[in-house]
Structure 1
Amino acid sequence: MKVLKAKKLYVGDGNVKENVYVAFNGNEIVHVGEEVGGEYLGEFEVVTPAFIDPHSHIGMDRAGEPYYEEEANEHMDPVLPYLYAEESVYMDDKAFRESVEWGVLYSVVLPGSGNVIGGRAALLRNWETNIEDAFVKHVGVKAAMGYNPRSTTSWGGQRPSTRMGATAIFRKALSKAYSDLKKLKEGKLSWDELEPLSKALIPVLEGRLPFRIHVHKEDDIAIIKRLAKQYGFKYTIDHACDVHTERGFKLIKDLGVPVIYGPIDSHPYKVELKHESYKNIRLLIKYMPDVLALMSDHPVVLQRNLMLQLRFFMKYGMKFEDAIKLITSNAAKVVGLNAGEVKPGKLASIVAWDGEPYVLGSSVVMAVAEGKIIEL
């Protein structure tokens, strides 16, 4: 058993503890509290849970490589739910290492938003050096609304030029899978007779995987609400950066679905982001979704800077111990990972700092990744 002492511990659930000992055995935290015996790792100013980025393209769009080698979007067709994101990830992307050095130990890597349905999202361990060890599980199927899928008319397949066209393609794929699922339950089709598209979408229709939906504008969120009601799928709202009115944020809250917000520090480079502003966070806090997590969308915002976006939530009154939940416990809930909190029974993925994480100049001095001490 290994033990460290935290002068200050941000638990990850909104609570703060002082002068506590954290012990872990193997990959699991087994004790948080009074002094306990074991291999002593030292005393640290601040300890936090490992950060989790629930939406990125790290390892697909790679640091130091030319733009035409990025692999976030497959161009051959607008509906590709059977793609696996991890199969276009290279773990030697130096951005993974830099993320670990700033406390981000987990990434969700998704296909890009150029396709209406882009493929499965993968949860990865950032500290591993090969994809076999890095891969944890699939955590959703990427879909996209708005401008991005209609901006790809030069790519392969039948491409939409309008939002209604993109929605029609989405609905057609859902209808096919929905019909095949019904036939499967009635015994009119066997699993082996299904097309790859239906095999990939049936887990979504059965609620075993959510859609991870790229969407910025309130009107497109309303369309998703309509489709979800018709087909019964679960989903997360990813981005929502153009939502800027009380009505829009109330709509999101009333949907009761997880929101993966951001990236906040990016340039609003297209018309559907014309209302994007960090000032929208004031309303986001007022109409707080049941589960809110924060993304980097790496490389749009570098994943190593994920925590820096918390400053806007603090600007509008959120305490750091609550803001940190957006990249720890809340992100863990979204991706179904037993981490994000420093509590017994959770994965021993924790980060030690030489000062308050939100203070300029503070650095990570030790990272523990599922019980493994990472040399920084």
Structure 2
Amino acid sequence: MRIKNVRIYTMDDNDRVIDKGFVTVENGIITAVEEGSPSECSENDIDGRGMTLYPGFIDAHTHMGLTSAGVGIEGEDLNEEFDPCTPQLRIIDGINPIDHSFEMARQAGITCVIVSPGSTNPIAGSIAAVKTAGKRIDKMVVKTVGMKFALGENPKLTYMDHEQSPATRMAVASIIRDNLCKAQRYMRDIEQAETESDLPDYDSSMEALLPLLRREIKAHFHCHRADDIFTAVRIANEFDLDYTLIHCTSGHLIADELADENVSCVVGPVICDRCKPEMAELSPANAAVLKANGLEVAVCTDHSEVPIEYLPISVGICIKHGLSFYDGVKAVTCTPAKIADIFDRVGSIEVGKDADMVLFEGNPFEVMSSPALVMIGGKTVGRDNV
């Protein structure tokens, strides 16, 4: 099957844009990306009629399926807020793929989401990249991509209400450090064990942190305020973690300092108010300023803080406030794929990658735009007059 007669934003590492070309798909995988017209056609081919084909959009930070729409507390699986350190929690055990938000994502051209636990705990649990089509979460998962950490108001206020630690930013950072140090010792004990009887007693929370210490997954730091952002950088550097900054709300004020750290940022939510003190410096120009200072920037909704279907509009607002159109496309395709270390499968239109693509007639980031075609794994999940 081919999608032909389309302009193609490949979003590959060569920044290739094909003015008129076609993409061939076999068994859910892209097998050709070519200029011109195919030499042969079949009845299954899709004529794009000059529209523009993009990689399927990716939201780099969501809580998809952890808060079921219209259900209330029974559907809340976002925060395990009775223990400040829960790295052993597996995100896929909390995601409800039947939740309406997955359908809304598909309708907006979002084919993959990064799903994270909430931010009440200094260490909250694993993070996974998930396709937005499917009924069984085990078949939708691309891979586990990270471990969630949270700084600032959320853990402070949660445990202050519980009348336990942490109640200060110092204590939040201390809990993170203590557990990373314990995990380092646990890892050394495993590596130095000469026999099975020498192995340390199994500890699920320490086991969960080992891939992080081995840099097999990233630390995702929830941080809004400038001082919290620098605490995230400080801890990551102390423990040699591969990491990314989530929200990074005050990033535009310290972009020159962050540029020295060569760190990626996931900006958002964009369509929201300054709903708490640490978001006082919220600016729609944040993404543009960070990008201008050389940082890699993805845009997120933080669903359900902003409904998932407003991801393209969020990018449009960032473009309105200084981000280039091409960098806007990158912010929801190749950049989040690279941040999540899933660029080998998604985030660009290249041979060998999953056939996750979205076709638009006009600007995909305008409020009146809807995709003419949405494809996930070579299967059409949304189609309008093509």
Q: Give TM class, smaller chain.
A: over 0.9
Alpha-carbon distance in 2 for matches of 1:305, 1:130: 25
1:132 aligned onto 2:134? no
- 1:26 and 1:326 map into 2 onto residues whose CA distance is 28
Q: Which residue of 2 aligns with 1:349?
A: 356
Secondary structure at 1:113's aligned position in 2?
coil
Residue 103 of structure 1 corresponds to 109
Task: Give 3-state SS (helix, strand or coil) of 1:29's partner.
Answer: strand
1:175 aligns with 2:194: no
Whether the 8 Å CA contact 1:58–1:299 is kept in 2: the answer is yes
Q: Secondary structure at the match of 1:364?
A: coil
Out of 318, 321, 327, the residue aligned to residue 322 of structure 1 is 327
Matched-pair contact (CA < 8 Å) for 1:59–1:93: yes
For the residue of structure 1 that corresponds to 2:206, the secondary structure is helix
Aligned length: 372
Match of 1:228 in 2: 236
Query: What amino acid sits opposite 2:159 in the alignment?
Result: T
Equivalent residue runs for 1:51-130 within 5 Å: 51-67=57-73, 69-130=75-136
Rounded Cα–Cα distance in structure 2 between residues aligned with 1:307 and 1:252: 26
Distance 1:256 1:366, change over 3 A: same
Amino acid of the structure 2 residue aligned with 1:372: K
Report the AA paired with residue 306 of structure 2: V
Tell me if 1:368 matches 2:369.
no
CA-to-partner distance for each residue in 1:211-233, whole Å, 9 max, x for gaps?
11101122122222222232222
Alignment check: 8 A CA contact 1:16 1:321 kept = no
Equivalent position amino acid for 1:368 in 2: M
User: What's the CA shift for 1:84?
Assistant: 0.8
- Mark the CA change 1:199 to 1:345 in structure 2 (over 3 Å): closer, same or farther: same
SS at 1:373's partner residue? strand
Pick aligned residue for 1:144 from 139, 150, 165: 150
Q: Name the amino acid aligned to 1:302.
A: P
Please give the alpha-carbon distance, in whole angstroms, between the structure 2 residues aligned to 1:287 and 1:190. 50
Instruction: Please identify, of 41-50 and 115-124, the stretch whose mean Cα deviation from structure 2 is larger.
Output: 41-50
SS in structure 1 at match of 2:351: coil
The answer to which of 333-342 and 224-233 deviates more is: 224-233
Paired residue for 2:269? 263
Match among 297, 301, 306 for residue 292 of structure 1:
297
Given that residues 77 and 156 in structure 1 are in contact (C-alpha distance below 8 angstroms), is that contact kept between their aligned partners in structure 2? no
2:7 is the counterpart of 1:8: yes
Partner-residue secondary structure (3-state), 2:171: helix
Distance 1:6 1:55, change over 3 A: farther
Contact 2:92/2:138, CA 8 A, preserved across alignment: no
User: Which consecutive aligned stretches of 4+ in structure 1 deviate over 4 angstroms post-superposition?
Assistant: 154-158, 188-192
Contact 2:284 2:321 in 1 (8 A): no
Provide the residue aligned with 1:331 in structure 2: 336
- Per mean C-alpha deviation after superposition, the further-off stretch among 166-175 and 6-15 is 6-15
Instruction: Flag the 1:206–1:190 CA change in 2: closer, same or farther, 3 A.
Output: farther
Distance 1:111 1:318 in 2: 29
Deviation per CA, 1:9-67, whole angstroms, max 9, x where unpaired?
Answer: 22224443222111111121111223223431222422111001111001001211115
Deviations 1:265-294 (A, max 9, x none): 1222111111111133442232131x3211
Question: Post-superposition shift, 1:331?
Answer: 1.0
Distance 1:88 1:150 in 2: 24
| Contact 1:29–1:345, Cα closer than 8 Å, also in 2 | yes
Residues 79-136 of structure 1 show CA distances to partners (whole Å, capped at 9, x for unaligned) of 0001011111111111100110110011111000000100000111111122122122
Within 1, Cα distance between the matches of 2:327 and 2:16?
8
Q: Say which SS state the counterpart of residue 331 (structure 1) adopts.
A: helix
Gaps of 5+ in 2: none
TM-score normalised to structure 2 length:
0.90
Counterpart AA for 1:20: G
1:204 aligns with 2:209: no
Task: Tell me, yes or no, if the aligned pair for 1:15 and 1:321 is still in contact at 8 Å.
Answer: no
SS in 2 for 1:278: coil
The Cα RMSD (Å) is 2.0
Q: 1:314 Cα shift?
A: 2.2
Q: 1:147 to 1:360 in 2, by over 3 A?
A: closer
Question: What do the CA deviations read for 1:308-345 (whole angstroms, capped 9, x no partner)?
Answer: 12223322444323310110011111112221111222
Partners of 2:183 and 2:262 lie apart in 1 by 25
Equivalent residue, structure 1, for 2:23: 22
When residues 123 and 210 of structure 1 are mapped into structure 2, their CA distance, relative to the original with a 3 A threshold, is same
2:249 maps to amino acid: C
Equivalents in 1 of 2:362, 2:129: separation in Å? 29
Give the secondary structure class of the aligned counterpart of 2:331.
Answer: helix
AA matched with 1:16: V
Cα 1:353–1:282 change in 2 (3 A) is: closer
Give distance in 1, aligned partners of 2:163 and 2:139.
34
SS at match of 1:153: helix
Whole-angstrom distance in 2 between the partners of 1:125 and 1:277: 30
2:46 — aligned with what? Answer: 41
TM-score (ref. length: structure 1): 0.93
Superposed CA offset, 1:331-361 (max 9, x none):
1111122211112222111012233313442
